[in-house]
Structure 1
Amino acid sequence: MSRLGRADGGLVPTVIIGGCGRVGLPLGIALASRGLPVVLYDINEAAVETVNSGVLPFDEPDAAEPLAAAVRDGRLLAVTDPACVAEAETVVVIVGTPVDEHLNPDIGAVPRAIELCADHLRDGQLLILRSTVHPGVTALTEKMLAGHGLDLDVAFCPERIAEGRAMTELFSLPQIVAARTERAYLRSEAFFRHLTEQTVRLVPEEAELAKLFTNTWRYIKFAAANQFWMMTNDAGLDFDRIRGAITYDYPRAADLPGPGFAAGPCLLKDTMQLAAFSRNNFALGHSAMLVNEGLPLYLAARLETRYDLSRLTVGILGMAFKAGSDDTRASLSFKLRKILALKARETLCSDPYVVDDRFLPLDEVLRCADLLVIGAPHPEYRDLPTGTPVVDIWGISGRGTLV
């Protein structure tokens, strides 16, 4: 394995477990841009090869150039060998933390990832957990390490970036730093001060909840907006006009979002993790899930009242989970496609950012579709050159949101 080291020859790079993913890679690039040697450990061989060629394996604005520079200058290396963690002073763990088919959290995802490297960890290292986890996973990790006879400083420092703004927010957002010992806290704070001057201190269990509260709060706000939209839509009114009046020069309503598919890999998952933490005594969170996850069903039902879908070819524009992204994880556009596949004569899909052999170019969908539904509010859909009816619950086309 190629090695990265300091100018004085000391082999003390940062190793990021899960380092070629959408959270780990931007962090690695950001650290390398500040002159730190970084090793990215990932089990995805294709992603490792892509990163080592100096190319991003996914879209992230302002990350391509610093990645290429870091690889070229020898500050960043991706590997598939877990032995790399033995070289590290700091090991950062960023792995996915899914829920199962029953929406229960998988509390073992982070410990399992660390177990793969446990034989290579050594006393005195700083281990930073950065994945969004169920409360108690930091303590579980500490217990697991103790069971291996390892004496590491452990901290939980959740990522807070939004996809598409990582290379700005890694340097601008305050970093929550949580550790059980003073030494682990001071070492973690010093690590993140390479990126940002602002840190917020909590204990691990507080920080674990803080991250879940953050994502759940966004999910609940989106559910409120979607419920308001359905109410006004059922009354034959345009929520876009009402929201415009509510938020106009009125700061107490400025954070009311517009309607749309509330999706992605975190919001629903973390709401359900919080529900599990509260022994499923979380009616507000479950209601938000019913509203947001039910939106594609509601939309399809409304379309059935207006159109004879069995005679129409429907085009879904935008299959990513949010605007300007190539990420389709948990995108509700796919749920809408499944529903319409049972109702429409034919369903066509297009997305300018997502590479998928099943999707068609935009001009072909515009030519063939009798009805268009905007699934993700990509900027390319603001001025569609078509006389075909457009269903736009996002309101990006300027035609209102009434369906």
Structure 2
Amino acid sequence: MTDTVDVCVVGGCGRVGLPLGIALAARGQSVVLYDIDAAAVERVNSGVMPFAEEGAQEPLTEALAAGRLRATTDPAAVGLADALVVVVGTPVDSHLNPDLGAVPRAIERCVEHLRDGQLIVLRSTVYPGVTALTEKLLSAKGLVVDVAFCPERIAEGRAMTELFTLPQIIAARTPQALDRAEALFRNLTGKIVRLEPEEAELAKLFTNTWRYLKFAAANQFWMMANDFGLDFARIQQAVVHDYPRADDLPMPGFAAGPCLLKDTMQLAAFNRNNFVLGHSAMLINEGLPLYLVSRLEDRFDLAELSVGILGMAFKGGSDDTRDSLAYKLKKILTLKARETLCTDPYVTDDRLVPLDDVLKRADLLVIAAPHPDYAVLDTDKPVVDMWGLTGQGVRV
């Protein structure tokens, strides 16, 4: 591999890196995707999306055919690019403490191939200070490079729209690094917001945490209304109707996925675990499956029933099951119900059962992911729908 390219995306075949690479290639940039997942690399090079992302297949095919995009497992690829964009997962551990080493480890794996003069862009959501830590790491290796932090802001499934329409936050320590990062992302959008690195790190964590807090408020409100025998859907619709100061009150539902809880806990750790709102939100959102089952126990003899869980992804219309609370619901129901059946039209999992079979065998149905497929169900079985997807109310 000797051809130089404009951009190398580290973690380039994942759910954040791949849409970014495709979007840049669609705007005329030459892009190489470096990833340690050989199966994903093979699929991308064969022109197949390794996951569902609306609007990505056609530009992927076009970019491959034009020679503007390719994927590889060869770490030497990072040395071929003027700009390196690092997009790797930044998990919390089993104690909900942030893993500060995820980004540095990704860079360490390929640091021998880096060269002076490159622009290194961190795209992952990071604990405040990781950009500075990365700068120290690269400096200790004797590299003279520009480092920027430009957090991803997309919603999964909307990347191929939002990469071109949402403002891009860019942050760097020097004017030169800022200018280079801005030039890179102006390939996607003309809307740029400049910050200091630590400001941008907090901006990203605040964004995800704010969303998590809003879901917790809605879930707490739903439980309050539900415990008094009232339909929260009717109340929520009245609150938001032509009333802009409350139009961001969501419906209840499982607040899950790989970001919201994780980033709320990163923010708590940053503030020395002094984050009452964040920890309260975690208790509400993570406790929702148990609350739901306890309500079902009040209404049904679960030990004598077969329960069907509809939707195992963490959000509607998605094939992504990462940290989905539907699996927590399944675990609880496995202990309580006579039988638990799970189905999902988007998720590939040998343990799942076709929807028709679930509708036949189950005595009770629970919509765990708001897939549009479940808005109109042909069944006479009781349907528990806390999302309000079916328009039949959300009382449980």
Q: Which category of TM-score, normalised to the shorter sequence, fits these structures?
A: over 0.9
What is residue 262 of structure 1 aligned with on the other side? 255
Distance 1:377 1:160 in 2: 22
SS in 1 for 2:287: helix
Report the CA distance between 1:86 and its aligned residue: 1.1
What is residue 203 of structure 2 aligned with on the other side? 210
What is residue 66 of structure 1 aligned with on the other side? 59
Report the CA distance between 1:198 and its aligned residue: 0.6
Q: Is residue 51 from structure 1 mapped to residue 44 from structure 2 by the alignment?
A: yes
The code of the aligned residue for 2:377 comes to: L
- The match for 2:183 among 178, 182, 190 is 190
SS in 1 for 2:332: helix
- The match for 1:22 among 15, 34, 39 is 15
The code of the aligned residue for 1:40 comes to: L
Q: Is residue 356 from structure 1 mapped to residue 349 from structure 2 by the alignment?
A: yes
Report the CA distance between 1:316 and its aligned residue: 0.2
What is residue 313 of structure 2 aligned with on the other side? 320
Overall identity of the aligned pairs, in %: 73
What is residue 91 of structure 2 aligned with on the other side? 98
The code of the aligned residue for 2:295 comes to: R
Q: Is the 8 A contact 1:105 1:134 kept in 2?
A: yes
Matches within 5 A, 1:96-245: 96-245=89-238
TM-score under structure 1 length normalisation: 0.98
Distance 2:57 2:118 in 1: 30
Report the CA distance between 1:72 and its aligned residue: 1.4
Q: 1:144-191 CA deviation, whole Å, 9 max, x = no partner? A: 011111111000000000001000000000000100000000000000
Q: Is the 8 A contact 2:268 2:274 kept in 1?
A: yes
TM-score under structure 2 length normalisation: 0.99
Q: Is the 8 A contact 1:42 1:80 kept in 2?
A: yes
Distance 1:326 1:339 in 2: 22
Q: Is residue 394 from structure 1 mapped to residue 380 from structure 2 by the alignment?
A: no
SS in 2 for 1:29: helix
SS in 1 for 2:120: strand
Q: Is residue 310 from structure 1 mapped to residue 303 from structure 2 by the alignment?
A: yes
Distance 1:34 1:140 in 2: 32
Q: 1:306-347 CA deviation, whole Å, 9 max, x = no partner? A: 000000000000000000000000100000000000000000
Report the CA distance between 1:73 and its aligned residue: 1.4
Q: Is the 8 A contact 1:240 1:395 kept in 2?
A: yes
Q: Is residue 300 from structure 1 mapped to residue 290 from structure 2 by the alignment?
A: no
Distance 2:74 2:58 in 1: 26
Q: Is the 8 A contact 2:125 2:204 kept in 1?
A: yes
The code of the aligned residue for 2:315 comes to: K
Q: Is the 8 A contact 2:13 2:33 kept in 1?
A: yes
Q: Is the 8 A contact 1:54 1:72 kept in 2?
A: no
Query: What is the aligned length?
Result: 396
Structure 1 residues not aligned, in runs of 5+:
5-10
The code of the aligned residue for 2:307 comes to: V
Distance 2:373 2:355 in 1: 10
Runs of 4+ in structure 1 over 2 Å off: none
The code of the aligned residue for 2:199 comes to: E
Q: Is residue 248 from structure 1 mapped to residue 241 from structure 2 by the alignment?
A: yes
What is residue 89 of structure 1 aligned with on the other side? 82
Distance 1:353 1:173 in 2: 27
Over the aligned positions, Cα root-mean-square deviation in angstroms equals: 0.6
Q: Is residue 373 from structure 1 mapped to residue 366 from structure 2 by the alignment?
A: yes
Distance 2:331 2:267 in 1: 28
Report the CA distance between 1:12 and its aligned residue: 3.3
Q: Is the 8 A contact 2:256 2:314 kept in 1?
A: yes
> After the TM superposition, which of the residue ranges 257-266 and 65-74 deviates more from structure 2?
65-74
Report the CA distance between 1:79 and its aligned residue: 0.3
Distance 1:71 1:362 in 2: 36
The code of the aligned residue for 1:174 comes to: P
Q: Is the 8 A contact 2:306 2:363 kept in 1?
A: yes
Q: Is residue 290 from structure 1 mapped to residue 290 from structure 2 by the alignment?
A: no
Q: Is the 8 A contact 2:5 2:31 kept in 1?
A: no
Structure 2 residues not aligned, in runs of 5+:
none
SS in 1 for 2:221: helix
